[in-house]
């Protein structure tokens, strides 16, 4: 879904965030490091906002911080190992005055066990309990360890103005819902993020308008399953069919939310993640209707084998998925499509693996995020099935999937050569200060000589060549 390159992300040292004002070490300064999905990065901005109200400034310099927070991810074992290693590093540098807190999904999964296992940690806070941070910090200041991992049926942090961290001033995230009710058998998220809740449309638009007034040009609406978004006045997700006629009329589904947001702002709009079982043609038609909704869908498939999809409890089979792809290609022919795939899930045999490869060939994704199955404690798969594909086979299958995807990405990118694409300029290219980079509506990165344009402008770029990851070209307006 919602990830930069996730494989790389886990190896990377997270990313650190900030606003720097001159001040001494005595001031309240918080250093926040975030791991995992965009939701977590977005949550860190909510945390910064809550802490700002009690006088904390964010800093990028860990040495200046008296509060260090790690917003953690539990999605795969490796993601948790990365955080443990990071704690080892902090162990070496912690002094008496520094408070170390664990936020996010590992906090929720491990609860008080975290305090037992990692003695240097003072504070453990789950994703729905961030409003309690001021109280919890008081407890820590009084010399006690503090923990709040209560999950909520209502919390959407709708009224808070996130402090934009890691900002380029051009693109930003806006959470539209929290939690997940799906119970995919491999997935830890329903346990760490709780039940699904949608956020009030008005507050979503207000946040987007605020970003727009500050010069931002693009927002990504975030949720674990945006197609399941349903505003009915607050609280847990309700069954639409069981609503009264009056309530049905007053509700807002995802297609309606997209419509509402697209017509009330000129910002570019993206969203993540779509779920194949819930993605409707109504959403596709709304995307087609508005120029400012980007033509890009991240539609995780996880496997091309109906047998495995059933074991994964994904709620669709291969044919259903391919039918959704057919709809996308019919209603939005120019749409970029990406995926997530898990290889080596319980009982996956060579035929199932081949089914995944043939599905990839049928879809021809623009790009994808591909993972080896990692068993997570307490999930349905951990309780019911055997993690019985040997690691060596998982690695080989993953290699084959990645190689095929790279071939497809190159083929898909080559199709743009000779065409002109509209690109929102996001910043300098990684390789050269003479070049800018930005994204096409399909979410493909384009790099081009910067000429006289400014970051934040939208330019027409003639694509002249490409790699499997990047389009290369020149500005023509
Ligand atoms: N809500 C999104 C996915 C969020 S997790 C959706 O349903 O599409 C992001 C991705 O991590 C998943 O799509 C899946 O490919 C991968 N993932 C989740 N649990 C995993 C596990 N136990 N092992 C390996 N990959 C996993
Ligand atoms: Fe996990 Fe499935 Fe929910 Fe995605 S939809 S977060 S994979 S349980
Ligand atoms: Fe996101 Fe990782 Fe939690 S993917 S929801 S931070 S387990």
Does residue 377 surpass a pLDDT of 80?
yes
Does residue 180 surpass a pLDDT of 90?
yes
The better pLDDT of the pair 155, 26 is held by 155
Cα end-to-end span (Å), the chain: 33
Which pLDDT does position 89 carry in this prediction?
87
Using the atom order of ligand 2, give the atom closest to the CA of residue 190.
Answer: 8
Which pLDDT does position 10 carry in this prediction?
36
pLDDT tens column, 454-464: 999 999 999 99
Give yes or no for a contact between 38 and 2, defined as CB atoms under 8 angstroms apart. Answer: yes
How far is ligand 2, taken at its centre, from the CA of residue 197, in Å?
Answer: 14
Q: With bands split at pLDDT 50, 70 and 90, how would you rate the model's confidence at 24?
A: very low
Give yes or no for a contact between 32 and 16, defined as CB atoms under 8 angstroms apart. Answer: yes
Across residues 376-386, what is the average pLDDT? 98
For 444, list phi and psi in degrees, rounded to 5. -85, 140
Residue of 1, 2, 5, 39 to mutate, ligand 3, most atoms within 8 A of C-beta: 39
Residue of 340, 356, 398 to mutate, ligand 1, most atoms within 8 A of C-beta: 340
Concatenated DSSP letters for 12-42? TT-EE--------TTS-EEEEEE-SSHHHHH
Residue owning the nearest CA to atom 1 of ligand 3:
37
Across residues 450-475, what is the average pLDDT? 97
Across residues 126-133, what is the average pLDDT? 98
Considering the chain, what is the average pLDDT of its residues? 93
- pTM beyond 0.85, yes or no: yes
pLDDT tens column, 407-425: 999 999 999 999 999 999 9
Give yes or no for a contact between 13 and 85, defined as CB atoms under 8 angstroms apart. Answer: no
Give yes or no for a contact between 427 and 463, defined as CB atoms under 8 angstroms apart. Answer: no
pLDDT tens column, 275-289: 999 999 999 999 999
Which pLDDT does position 26 carry in this prediction?
59
Give yes or no for a contact between 451 and 165, defined as CB atoms under 8 angstroms apart. Answer: no
Q: Cα dihedral sign for 101, 102, 108, 113?
A: negative
Helix (H) or strand (E) holding 171: strand 171-175
Does residue 21 surpass a pLDDT of 60?
no
Does residue 91 surpass a pLDDT of 90?
no
pLDDT tens column, 345-359: 999 999 999 999 999
Residue of 76, 105, 187, 299 to mutate, ligand 2, most atoms within 8 A of C-beta: 187
Residue 280 CB neighbour total at 10 angstroms: 14
The better pLDDT of the pair 133, 88 is held by 133
Across residues 321-327, what is the average pLDDT? 98
pLDDT tens column, 207-264: 999 999 999 999 999 999 999 999 999 999 999 999 999 999 999 999 999 999 999 9
Give yes or no for a contact between 446 and 460, defined as CB atoms under 8 angstroms apart. Answer: no
Does residue 300 surpass a pLDDT of 90?
yes
Q: Which domains does the chain have, with CATH numbers?
A: 3-148 (3.40.50.12160), 171-411 (3.80.30.20), 420-476 (2.40.50.140)
Q: With bands split at pLDDT 50, 70 and 90, how would you rate the model's confidence at 97?
A: confident
């Amino acid at each position: 879904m919602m990830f930069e390159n996730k494989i790389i992300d886990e190896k990377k040292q997270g990313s650190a965030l900030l606003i720097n004002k001159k001040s001494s070490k005595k001031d309240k300064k918080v250093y926040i490091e975030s791991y995992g999905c965009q939701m977590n990065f977005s949550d860190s901005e909510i945390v910064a906002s809550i802490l700002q109200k009690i006088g904390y400034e964010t800093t990028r310099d860990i040495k200046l911080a008296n509060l260090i927070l790690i917003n953690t991810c539990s999605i795969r074992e490796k993601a948790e190992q990365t955080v443990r290693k990071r704690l080892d590093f902090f162990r070496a540098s912690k002094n008496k005055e520094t408070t170390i807190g664990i936020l996010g999904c590992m906090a929720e999964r491990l609860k008080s066990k975290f305090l037992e296992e990692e003695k240097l940690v003072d504070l453990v806070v789950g994703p729905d309990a961030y409003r309690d941070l001021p109280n919890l910090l008081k407890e820590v200041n009084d010399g006690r360890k503090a923990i709040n991992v209560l999950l909520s049926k209502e919390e959407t942090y709708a009224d808070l103005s996130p402090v934009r961290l890691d900002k380029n001033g051009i693109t930003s995230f806006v959470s539209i819902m929290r939690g997940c009710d799906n119970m995919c058998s491999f997935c830890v998220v329903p346990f760490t993020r709780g039940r699904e809740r949608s956020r009030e449309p008005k507050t979503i638009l207000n946040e987007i308008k605020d970003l727009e007034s500050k010069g931002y040009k693009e927002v990504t609406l975030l949720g674990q399953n945006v197609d399941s978004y349903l505003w009915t006045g607050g609280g847990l997700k309700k069954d639409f069919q069981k609503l009264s006629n009056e309530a049905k009329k007053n509700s807002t589904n995802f297609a309606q939310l997209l419509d509402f947001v697209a017509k009330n702002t000129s910002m570019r709009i993206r969203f993540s993640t779509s779920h194949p079982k819930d993605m409707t043609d109504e959403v596709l038609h709304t995307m087609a209707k508005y120029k400012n909704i980007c033509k890009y869908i991240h539609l995780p498939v996880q496997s091309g084998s109906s047998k495995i999809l059933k074991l994964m409890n994904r709620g669709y089979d291969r044919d259903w998925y391919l039918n959704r792809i057919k709809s996308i290609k019919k209603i939005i022919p120019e749409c970029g499509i990406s995926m997530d795939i898990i290889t080596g899930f319980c009982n996956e045999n060579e035929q199932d693996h081949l089914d995944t490869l043939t599905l990839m060939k049928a879809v021809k994704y623009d790009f994808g995020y591909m993972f080896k199955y990692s068993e997570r404690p307490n999930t349905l798969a951990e309780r019911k099935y055997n993690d019985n594909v040997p690691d060596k086979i998982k690695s080989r299958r993953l290699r084959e999937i990645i190689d095929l995807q790279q071939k497809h990405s190159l083929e898909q990118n080559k199709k743009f050569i000779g065409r002109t694409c509209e690109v929102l300029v996001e910043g300098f290219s990684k390789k050269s200060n003479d070049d800018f980079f930005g994204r096409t509506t399909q979410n493909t990165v384009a790099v081009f000589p910067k000429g006289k344009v400014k970051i934040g402008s939208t330019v027409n770029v003639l694509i002249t060549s490409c790699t499997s990851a990047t389009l290369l070209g020149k500005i023509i307006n």
